[in-house]
Structure 1
Amino acid sequence: SDEDVDDSSEFVKFFPSFIWAVRDFTLERKIDGKDATENDYLEFALKLKHGTSKKVMEYNLPRECIQKFFPSRTCFTFPFPTAPENVSHLERLDLADLSTEFLEVTGRFCTFVFDQSDVKKLKDGYTVTGRVLGHLAKMYMDTISSGAVPCLENAVIAMAMIENQAAVKEGFEVYQSGMEKLKNSFPLELKVVSSEHQRLSSMATQTFMTRSFRDTDGKLLISWFQSFISKQKIKAKEETQRQLQEKMEAERQSNEERMIQMKEKMDEEMRLQREEAQRAMDSKLREQAALLEKGFQEKADRMSQEMEEFKRQNAEAESNRVREFAELLENSSKRNEESMAMMMQQHREQMKALQQQMRARSAGGCCIL
């Protein structure tokens, strides 16, 4: 529908390149009696008709969708691969039995796919690995089998939950395995333990960040951090004043490193979003110029309005991301202050118990802690 076409600026951000491969091409590639390239032939086939009748609109709609959703378009016309008498046993043919023209087009096609086709991506520039593609394919098949209509956004959200849960697990395993190895070297000075805790915490955070997806508010990072801290936390009553102070310093430095890593990831995500938005805007500008050149003034004017709205939406989205990150920093700082306050309270309780013990000893009594 026209409404779907108007959303092209969102789809063009992550849609793949468009390759039109025509099999058994026997026609002449000519336009107005002149030889034409494969790409010219494709663009000629996508040319819109003037008019507003139902027949014209039905003719234009698929062509308009291809033009808007796929700004990068390439055509390959494959001639008949071999002589007609060989067609019935193509799987047994030798390379020498294939047409040289067919092999030439095949070579250009493969080179283009290998050298110029981008990797699969989702919104926000997230690269689709084989593992992620497997998740998406299974979700789509399960949805179709259940009789429902597949939805890209819902599939991405569900896939993000799977990936982020796995990211939490991987991050925790990095920290846990490192601490298990450290235990084999006990007893150690607390300074060594604190330094190793800080190093492993940074490694685990980086492991999580590398695999995590769409954790824009940092909730999963916080959940992950709290999960291993709660399991590894040393009871305050087992530490001295010096030990607790070193732990507090290590905690402060770890918190600063986490904030830096989150800031770097947010900056990278925003950079990718700006690049996507710029590609979409460039595509619309080219399409608008083409419409004006072909005499579609009304469509070009409507596209100008779309571009203004697109700019506004992107500016608003970027502003929201900056605000969300500022809130995340503020909340993280608040949690760190609360954690430090709790440690200070534990420290005061330890000092009070130590003073009571010292007074009891000086009085000749006995104190059991």
Structure 2
Amino acid sequence: MESPICLIENNGTLRVVPEALSYLMGVRQPVVVVAIVGLYRTGKSYLMNKLAGKQKGFSLGATIQSETKGIWMWCVPHPLKKDHTLVLLDTEGLGDVEKGDQENDAWIFALAILLSSTLVYNSKGTIDNQAVENLQYVTELTDRIKVKSPASASSAEDDDDDGADVQFVQFFPSFVWAVRDFTLLLEIHGTKVTEDKYLEHALTLKKGNDKKTVAYNLPRECIRNYFPERRCFVFETPAAAEKMAHLESMDENQLSPSFKAVTSKFCSYIYNESSVKKVKGGLPVTGRMLGYLAKTYVETIASGGVPCLENAVVAMAQIENQAAVQEGLLVYKKGMQEITFPVDMEEMSRQHGQWDSQAIEAFKNRSFKDEKGEYMKTLMEAIKESYAAFLAENEEASEDLCRQLLSKLSEPIAKKLENGFYAKPGGYELYSADGKALLDEYNRKPNKGVKAEEVLKNFLKEKSVETAAVMQADKQLTEKEKKIHEEREKAALLAQQKKAEEEKRLQMEKILKDERESHEKAVEVIKKKMEDEVALQKKELEKALECKLKEQRDLMQQGFKAKSDEMTQAINSLRADMARVRSPNPCNII
């Protein structure tokens, strides 16, 4: 992507731009998604351009008017993670006086959280009470985002409003506060502190239950609870005030060394520490999946609803799993179509096994949350049906080839019959010798396929009348000799019939073996897939538990025992969730 494009338009109503959605649908790599939010005219776009490794891209603007409307997207190869895409989302400025729509701002903020794996909050000056209060949208998140659909909430503990921070922390992005145009010393009570310590000090809670204290603590508690992974970067003013309007075109040498150093440190942190975007359950998101999420969330908001993480994942899983079935089947069919028929059953089975394995692998790579194995089962049934069609095609090709071969080999005998060559004493012996030579030549021909014996059986059966006629016409043969030859012909025909039946039996055994092996492969793959997904889910819960335990320790150290005790319920809830997570048995599914 050479330059940013609009992902979500905001013209009074939010709308996903089809061209941007189409681009995302073509990105099959995992995505690291960095979104930036903040008040308008705070220099958000400059940082995003730096992350893209470009001087220009996202519109900076040089006036007091907000430049960015909606959410703009720039997809670039990740500088450090091979085969990953870095997706940069630049959001319209919050608090735009011309727009004057707080509801709109709240939805833009919510979408930035829903779509990103790292959220950068950009502000100017210092992290004072006003700066924290400007993040008022964080206090409304339980009204803007639901984790579970009402239908799946089985108890009061499952409701999004009860312990919402416990659930949110499992999928919320990491949080980076970028403080721009900072002019103070990084000191607290005369002691130098790090940028992160500065942020944590600004988020320290006050003791008390009065209205003023509760209002002061609310946004801080939300930030602490929803974003346990927090970092801070403090940027001095990059250049003299009169040059700031031309920041986009300024040479790097004209920027403050300190500003450049922090910018470099900020970019390095984002590149190294920002994780792949994940959905509930810890599953990594590709560009295509990000497109589904954006479309689902925006359409829900536009219709007056509240985005639900569970519903979005279920809908996305259904779409992706259906596509995974088709992709797997396409891999199988394309591979099998490369076979030049006819082939013997051994080769047919080998090719089937190869492409069946690749089809299952293709399905595995795209599918997720196929918890009942229904999509894998659909793929297996489709492959079985397709295999049957290829077997029939192979049989038809074998039958045509064998018939043509026998027809060609029997032409000399047919001409001799037509010319009366065998209509003489000793003619049957000559006919039998020619017939044996025909059979020897037929059997020597390689690559006749799976119908060789059956076609030969039918051929001999068809020629039995002709054979009997030649025998009866041979005056040299006695009646006793004719009887003996008739018995031999019947025995030969019976032996060939048994050969054809054995050929068919071996083929059926091979087909059943193929089916059994295919099922075993599918069970093994889905078992591994389920184990991996359970491991991701456990890892997600462990990370959330670790964050909650750390927050509890911090509250205890700061003397907030009551709040620390309140967190115990959330911690116990996470531990209970971890105990419930286990892989289903795929053998009982498919």
**What TM bracket, shorter-length normalisation?**
0.7 to 0.9
Query: What aligned pairs does 1:46-195 form with structure 2 within 5 A after superposition?
Result: 46-182=203-339, 185-195=340-350
Report if aligned partners of 2:384, 2:515 keep a CA contact under 8 Å in 1: no
User: Unaligned regions of 5+ residues in structure 2, if any?
Assistant: 1-138, 143-159, 396-450, 452-502
Q: What residue identity is the alignment partner of 1:104?
A: A
Instruction: Name the amino acid aligned to 1:40.
Output: K
SS of alignment partner, residue 76 of structure 1: strand
Q: Give SS of 2:343's match.
A: coil
Quote the offset at 1:189 in angstroms. 0.6
Q: Report the count of equivalent residues.
A: 324
Q: Tell me if 1:200 matches 2:355.
A: yes
Aligned partner of 1:216 among 360, 368, 371 = 371
Q: Tell me what 2:525 maps to.
A: 261
Residue type at the aligned position of 1:21:
A
Contact 1:164 1:211 in 2 (8 A): yes
- Is the deviation greater in 232-241 or in 104-113? 232-241
Of the three residues 574, 577, 580, the one matched with 1:310 is 574
Q: 1:160 to 1:331 in 2, by over 3 A?
A: closer
Q: CA deviation at 1:145?
A: 2.5
Listed one character per residue, the Cα deviations across residues 213-235 of structure 1 (whole Å, up to 9, x for unaligned) are 21111111111221232233258
Q: Distance in 2 between matches of 1:98 and 1:5?
A: 48
Query: By how many angstroms is 1:4 displaced?
Result: 4.1
Give the C-alpha shift of residue 151 in structure 1: 2.2
Which amino acid is 1:269 matched to?
Answer: E
Say which of 307, 329, 336 aligns to 2:587. Answer: 329
Matched, 1:293 2:557: yes
1:278 equivalent to 2:278? Answer: no
The one-letter code matched in structure 2 to 1:330 is N
CA displacement at 1:130 relative to structure 2: 1.6
**Consecutive aligned runs of 4 or more in structure 1 exceeding 6 Å deviation:** 235-239
CA distance in structure 2 between the aligned counterparts of 1:90 and 1:257, rounded to whole angstroms = 59
TM-score, structure 2 as length reference: 0.52
**How far is 1:277 from its partner?**
1.5
- Give 1:33 shift: 2.1
User: 1:131-185 CA distances to partner (integer Å, 9 max, x unpaired)?
Assistant: 2112211222222223322222222222222211221111011000011111xx2
Question: Highest Rg: 1 or 2?
Answer: 2
Q: TM-score, normalised by structure 1?
A: 0.82
Separation of aligned partners in 2, 1:9 and 1:107: 34
Structure 1 residues without counterparts, runs of 5 or longer: 333-369
Change over 3 Å in CA distance of 1:5–1:105 after alignment to 2: farther
Return closer, same or farther for 1:16/1:193 CA change in 2, 3 Å cut-off. same
Structure 1 distance, partners of 2:225, 2:528, is: 33
Please state which structure has a larger fraction of its residues in strand.
2
Deviation at 1:314, TM superposition (A): 2.3
Letter in 1 for 2:352: H
User: Is contact 1:39–1:75 with CA below 8 Å preserved after alignment?
Assistant: yes
- What is the RMSD of the two structures over their aligned residues, measured on CA atoms? 2.1
Tell me which of 221, 229, 232 is aligned to 2:384: 229
The structure whose residues are more often helix, as a share, is: 1
SS of match in other structure, 2:304: coil
Distance in 1 of aligned mates of 2:589 and 2:169: 35
- Name the SS for the 1:209 alignment partner: helix
